[in-house]
Structures are given as C-alpha cells and as structure tokens.
Amino acid sequence: MFRSVNQPKDRRGRRIIVVRAALIVFMAAASGCVASTSVYLDETGVQISEETLERIVPGKTTEAWLLATLGPPHERTVLESEGITILRYDHTITRTESGAIFLILTSETRTINTEHTYFEIKDGIVISVRSEL
C-alpha cells in the first residue's frame, strides 16, 4: 500500500511535535520574562519646610521658639569664646531601588541625600541661618 506524501506517518509523531512546541513556549515564558521592581523611601531627622525657614528672622527669632517648633537639634556646638551656639538639624532621605528578572538577575541602587541646616544663636536670639546638601 502506498501513502500520499502529504499524510503524516502516524498520529504519534504529530503529538510529539505539539508537545515539544508547547514545552518550548512554556520555557520561553518562564525563563526570565517575569520582572519586578520596587522603590523604598526612608526619611530620618527633621525636615524644615521653606515656610518655616521664611518665619525665622535673624535678630528677632528666639532660640526657645526654634526649639519649640523644630524640637531638639541633631547637634549643639557652643563656641564659648564668641558666645555663640550653633544648632544643627539634619534631614536624610534614603532611596533604595531594586529590580529582579526571575531567577536570572537582581540589582539594587541606594541613594542617600542629607540636608544640614545650621542656626547660629547669640544671647538666645538667632543671628544667622544656612542650609547645605
């Protein structure tokens, strides 16, 4: 008996091809196509708003008002020879970004920004203010 060239030899051969094709598609989908990212922000210290800074008038604003408004400073330095006290307030933002591609690659980037604000005080009165990053 003769078979046509276009007819498959048997059904089993066709099933093997379908199973292999399905397996290839599944492995391609599962082998790195799953990605995830995340961003975490962590803030510490005292954030001094522009509005608050505008309310501080050198020569008029008192140390008592400053402490009541901002709380205790991160650091207090006394320059006894000049009669000046320097209050330093810090505000730090830590941004952590992480990403992953399923079972293949992971990465993490951390950025830390700290702002320092200094208040010079003489005889209980703020005499100057400056901020720096």
| Residue 76 within any structural domain of the chain | yes
Place of tokens 């498959």: 8
| Residue 40 within any structural domain of the chain | yes
Amino acid identity, residue 128?
A: S
Task: Please state, as a whole number, how many other Cβ atoms lie within 10 Å of the Cβ of residue 126.
Answer: 20
Question: Considering its fold, how many domains does the chain have in total?
Answer: 1
Task: Give per-residue pLDDT as tens, 11-48.
Answer: 555 566 666 666 665 665 555 556 678 888 999 999 99
Query: What's the CA gap between 106 and 54, in Å, rounded?
Result: 44
Task: Give per-residue pLDDT as tens, 38-76.
Answer: 888 999 999 999 999 999 999 999 999 999 999 999 999
Instruction: State the residue range of the domain holding 45.
Output: 35-132
Amino acid identity, residue 125?
A: I
pTM above threshold 0.85: no
Of 106, 104, 129, 132, nearest to 54 (Cα)? 129
Query: What's the CA gap between 91 and 88, in Å, rounded?
Result: 10
Give the SS3 label for residue 26. helix
Residue 10 has pLDDT above 90, yes or no: no
| Residue 128 within any structural domain of the chain | yes
| Residue 84 within any structural domain of the chain | yes
| Residue 27 within any structural domain of the chain | no
